[in-house]
Structure 1
Amino acid sequence: MILTDVLSSPSATRRPNDPARPLGSPPVPRSTAAERAQRVRFRRALSLMAMTLVVPGSAQLLAGNRRLGLAAFRTWLVLVALTVAVLVSVTVDRDLGFTMLTDPALLGVVRLVLMALAVFWAVLFMDAWRLGKPLSLGMGHRRAVVAVNGVLCFAVAGTLLTGAHLMGVQRDFIGTMSGNGIVTAATDGRYNVLLMGGDSGAGRVGLRPDSMTVASIDADTGRTVLVSLPRNMKGFPFREGSVMDEQFPDGFDADYLNGVSTWAEDRPELFGSSDEPGIDATVMAVEGITGLDVNYWAMVNLEGFKELVDAVGGVTLNVRQPIPVGGLGDDVVRYIPTGTRELDGMDTLWYARARDGSDDYSRMARQKCVMAAMASQLSPQTVVRNFSAIADASAELVQTDLPASELDTFMSLAMKAKDEKIATLSLVPPMIDTADPDIDLIQEKVDAAVQRTEEPPSPSAGAGGRRKAPTAVTGGSLGSMSDGYAANQAQDLSAAC
């Protein structure tokens, strides 16, 4: 009886190779051979797609058209080798990267290659899906394979097509940001670029340069001094021997400095085949006043400037007194409150151009503070993240005669300048009488400012070596009209703002 009970117990009937289970539990159903084969085919299908993602062509080499797989694999190897070589070269020589980013022909080739890769890789994914024999899978596995393949296909092709789009945007951006000027060499080791702010206000035809600043940049170090000229200067000379010098041998008495452009635009016959007589005449005036040889010019549309600020996500500025939004012939609608604030494009524009309750020289100081903030806060990461928006904004922002072949040089200088202090010199009262400017004194001050930027920076250098005035007038810079504004004469512009 005891033997019979033992033999009839569940533990006695369990075979040695049975999976362990609690006594008395129902037997675990075994998967059929067909189900195990389904799982193997499913894993194989997923593996083929993963192989295509990691090493394009490997799925075809393993289970498909070997000629197609070999072509894809060799192409992949060449592209990987080229990518590694470019990354190493750019790491060693950063200027090479700028050259590549500003070469329209190379950008066009890369764009076409990325588009072709997107199509070719998508074809490889579809072929890998076919090699996985989806019709032999169960419905659940079949749907999973289709979903995974679709995600991989669209992700890879979408990424490559996005890259191709960015190459096209960059190529258009280069066309927009470059002009057809003549390539000129640095003068005494410096590039001098005339930056003009064009204000297309009511009642004006075209852009009139109301803001004029020469950025004098050391060709080796990128150290920069911003030499600003007031729009209301009178009685100044033009570059000796120029067309405007012949018209006004005793100095310009027809208008203020910002009226030179309009005067010249009304008399294009004096400038031969020039497409920009107004800007050409303004360059002649700036060279006559400062004694600097201007290499290139750029005209910034102040109305389009706000789009650029919005494209980079705003700019942080120190607002020392409430800044009026509006004015200049219209009503003031509100004020930008004081404090360190991140301003959008509209408020940054008014920070730079507001004049109600202020003066031209305070406005010039604030404009320099905006330049300093943009230069220090606009990082390569920000540019990459907002590249399309920046490119779209720049299309309406800048006119220039800078040739495309020189863009890489100035991109490299801009990166060097980020690590350097920006010095400023404004030819304004109380140093300069704008109604009767002392040109010899101006050129002496310009030479001294340029020389200081070529000397090793002093740790104790402050805002021009003088005590900052304790007051501020609607500005981001300490100072007053009678004492001068710190940002208008500074060895470190950021400290003065």
Structure 2
Amino acid sequence: MGEIRKKRRKRNKRKIIGYSVGVLAIILFAITGFVYKQLQPQNHFKEVPVVSKTSNNTQSQYGVFNVLLIGSDERKGQNVGHSDSMMLFHVDLNTNQYQAISIPRDTRVHLDGYGYTKLTSVQYIKQATEGAQKGVDAAVNAVSELTGVPINYYVETNYQGLQGMVDAIGGIDMNVPFDVKLTHPWYPENKNKVVNAGVHSVDGKMVTELVHERYSLKNGEYDRQKLQEEALIGIAKTALKPSNVTKLPGVIKQVPNFLIASNMNTSDMISLGVAIKDFNPDTQLHYYQVGGEWKTMYDDILKNNNDQLVMDKAQLEEIIDQHFKQ
């Protein structure tokens, strides 16, 4: 009888364990299904934040929002930096079309409490006097005020972060539209190196060199913006290759390691990654530049006269009205 009871107890124990595992599997499956459903762009981006302070800060349509990409010259070990590049993206998940416009770093803008200065100085002075977050807020508000559109998300990285991001996806193929001489490289060994026009397989180190150069370029800042555009296209094409799509969630989870600041969390990034998994920059990305006039003007932050770009207001308004208004 004792042996029979022992066998029954073992069978019951196995059943209990089996039922427990089954219930746990069902719970995990349900949770996974719920999370997957919540991360679907049509669910995730029903409501988006507005982080800028302009009179036009309204959000009227699902899946339509603006993202400001900030490239800082902040170096390792520093806690302040200048906004070295600004690119505003208008995302429309309904049409799967993406608009992008570069805002030159030396654009003349207004900063409350200081007056008029270059865009690149806005973040720096606020960081130095009020802290890192105030610097980001000021840069976001300056671009929002300049363009007249609300900004929903911001993503800030520096050159080390860009280098790490490119290396994390194994390097990229980048189209270099013109010859580039590296006159102010991050790495001394690249001093005066010439990268000829054409498509090049480059690692993170070289990408940072190319998007940083402007002094040797015929059209200065505007040509540098084109290099930055080509770098982003190269990153998108590589990250979204069919062979790499399964790795995308893992790469996205590493993205916070490459960022200085962002109000996008990991789930925001994964959901956006799901939305653009079939992204084709050749047909879905539309890039714009705005002309302007270089003038020597008084800088209320630096307390001197320096070269500033006064953007063509009519051209800017036309581009914004046609492609960035919701």
TM-score w.r.t. length of structure 1: 0.49
- Sort the Cα spacing of 1:324 and 1:187 in 2 relative to 1 into closer, same or farther, 3 A: same
Match of 1:257 among 110, 119, 128: 119
- Answer whether contact 1:183 1:406 (CA < 8 A) is retained: no
Residue 231 of structure 2 is aligned to residue 370 of structure 1: yes
- Between the aligned partners of 1:393 and 1:326, the Cα distance in structure 2 is 30
Are 1:223 and 1:417, in contact at CA under 8 Å, matched by a contact in 2? no
**Aligned pairs for 1:288-437 within 5 A:** 288-325=145-182, 327-328=184-185, 332=191, 334-358=193-217, 359-379=220-240, 381-382=243-244, 384-385=246-247, 391-392=253-254, 394-402=256-264, 406-407=268-269, 410-415=272-277, 417=279, 421-429=284-292, 435-437=309-311
Q: Deviations over 1:310-349 (max 9, x none)?
A: 1111111123444345625866153335432221111122
Distance 1:396 1:203 in 2: 14
Question: Are residues 1:187 and 2:53 paired?
Answer: no
Aligned to 2:89: 215
Task: Determine the structure 2 residue equivalent to 1:20.
Answer: none
Aligned-partner Cα distance in 2 for 1:74–1:312:
42
| Aligned position for 2:304 | none
Could you list the per-position Cα deviations for residues 364-402 of structure 1 after superposition, in whole angstroms to 9, with x for gaps in the alignment? 011111112222331375264486676456414341123
Q: Which moved more, 1:416-425 or 1:306-315?
A: 416-425
Q: How far, CA to CA, are the matches of 1:402 and 1:355 in structure 2?
A: 30
CA 1:76–1:299 in 2, change beyond 3 Å: closer, same or farther?
same
Asked if the contact 1:194/1:213 (under 8 Å) is kept, the reply is yes
- Take 2:264 and 2:293, find their aligned partners in 1: how far apart are those partners? 34
Aligned counterpart in structure 2 of residue 69 of structure 1, from 7, 10, 14: 14
Q: Secondary structure at the match of 2:310?
A: coil
Structure 2: where are the runs of 5+ without partners?
Answer: 1-6, 51-56, 296-306
Q: 2:141 aligns with which of 284, 297, 316?
A: 284
Distance across 1 between alignment mates of 2:22 and 2:39:
22
The one-letter code of the counterpart of 1:68 is: K
Q: Secondary structure at the match of 1:297?
A: strand
Compared CA separation, residues 378 and 225, structure 1 to 2 (3 A): same
Q: Which has the higher strand share?
A: 2
The structure, 1 or 2, with the larger RCO (C-alpha pairs under 8 Å, 6+ apart) is: 2
Q: Alpha-carbon deviation of 1:275?
A: 5.3
What amino acid is the match of 1:301? N
- Structure 1 unaligned segments of length 5 or more: list them: 1-61, 103-181, 238-243, 269-273, 455-497
> 1:230 corresponds to which residue?
104
Alignment of 1:196-215 (within 5 A): 196-201=70-75, 206-215=80-89
Identity of matched residues, %? 20
Q: 1:318 to 1:417 in 2, by over 3 A?
A: closer
For residues 49-198 of structure 1, what are the structure 2 equivalents within 5 Å?
Answer: 65-78=10-23, 81=26, 95-97=37-39, 183-184=49-50, 187-189=59-61, 190-198=64-72
How many Å apart are 1:306 and its aligned residue? 0.9
Write out per-residue CA displacement over residues 76-130 of structure 1, whole angstroms, 9 at most, x where no aligned residue. 434555676678x58xx9653559xx9xxxxxxxxxxxxxxxxxxxxxxxxxxxx
